[in-house]
Amino acid sequence: MAPVPPPPTIGVFDSGFGGLTVLRALLPLQTYANYIYLGDTARLPYGSKSQETIARYAVSSAKFLHDQGAELLVIACNTATALALEDIQQSLSIPVIGVVEPGAQAASQAHKKDCHPERNETESKDLRFASTQKTLVLATPATVQSGAYTRALNALNLEAFEKACPLLVPLVEEGWIDHPVTDEVLRIYLTEALNQAPDATTLLLGCTHYPLIEPAIHRILADLNHPLAIIDSAQATAEAVVRNLALNHSGDHALATCVVNYAILQAKNSKPDAQNCTFYATDSIEKFQRLGSAFLGLPVTGVRHVDLGG
């Protein structure tokens, strides 16, 4: 009998709290793992900084997690992924996964299933569409300005329309998840976006804060009589992590896909906890524990403070 490999240590990094939705998606999918989460809360928001500053902050955070023992790193921040992923990959010798590419891949798979429901997954893998499919992306202004999702989606033969939604992050962090103000702001953003991209069939959540308001997005789209298939980039990223770990262990793409599908099925009956998680924050521990618990959906305790400089 082959020896059971030791549990992997996965590092998850964000400039703040949104990346906890990626960790929340990971916990039931990859229960056999240890997690280290870093929220660089002292230096947020990244979106208002220059690309050089963002890269410096992100690389220092990534190196910290590597020094703590991370064997795989998840950049659970759209801004850092869009503007610093290559810098981080060049600075570390471990696998680094961002949130943009998995989200784009999930949107592509959703289009293939909608357009060719009779095809199985293997048949659809190499399919190229005769006509371009359009994906609507909701994201922060910094992510939209980077054009990262447009490039990733265009590479998959998908047309993208990116909508900047600057008010959504502060509303989520205020805790207004199910609130009339949030609903009205969403209605305005979605109406504007759909007026400009009326033929969109898929909506990609391009910010890790947005999964918390996904029920409200569904509700507003129904009110607008314009349902869309919603892609959660946090969930897509978590599945990409499981696939990467399985592929590195087996070297078999088909087996890695089976592992991911099995993990998704098992997650439906899983009750994850945060006992195998270590949390770090570069600013207020109290605030991180309070807001972090809302984002993770589990109590966040024992947060450690770390000073990464300016």
* Angle, CA 205 vertex, CA 23 and CA 148 arms, to 5°: 95
**Phi-psi category of residue 34: left, alpha or beta, with phi > 0 → left and psi -120 to 50 → alpha:** beta
**Annotated catalytic residue within 165, 207, 258, 277:** 207
Query: Long-range contacts of range 52-56, CB-CB < 8 Å, 24 or more positions apart?
Result: 54/79, 54/80, 54/83, 54/84, 55/83, 55/84, 55/87
Q: How many residues does the chain have?
A: 310
Torsion sign, CA atoms 114, 115, 118, 122: negative
Q: Measured between alpha carbons, how far is 295 from 169 in angstroms, rounded to an integer?
A: 12
**What residues form DSSP beta bridges with 204?**
137, 231
* Angle, CA 40 vertex, CA 38 and CA 43 arms, to 5°: 175
The answer to whether the CB of 206 falls within 8 A of the CB of 161 is: no
> Using N-to-C axis directions, what is the helix angle for 233-250 and 20-29, rounded to 10°?
50
**Active-site residue, 207 included:** yes
Q: Measured between alpha carbons, how far is 264 from 29 in angstroms, rounded to an integer?
A: 6
Q: Measured between alpha carbons, how far is 95 from 244 in angstroms, rounded to an integer?
A: 8
**Active-site residue, 258 included:** no
**Annotated catalytic residue within 77, 115, 258, 277:** 77
Q: Measured between alpha carbons, how far is 222 from 227 in angstroms, rounded to an integer?
A: 6
Residues with active-site annotation: 77, 207
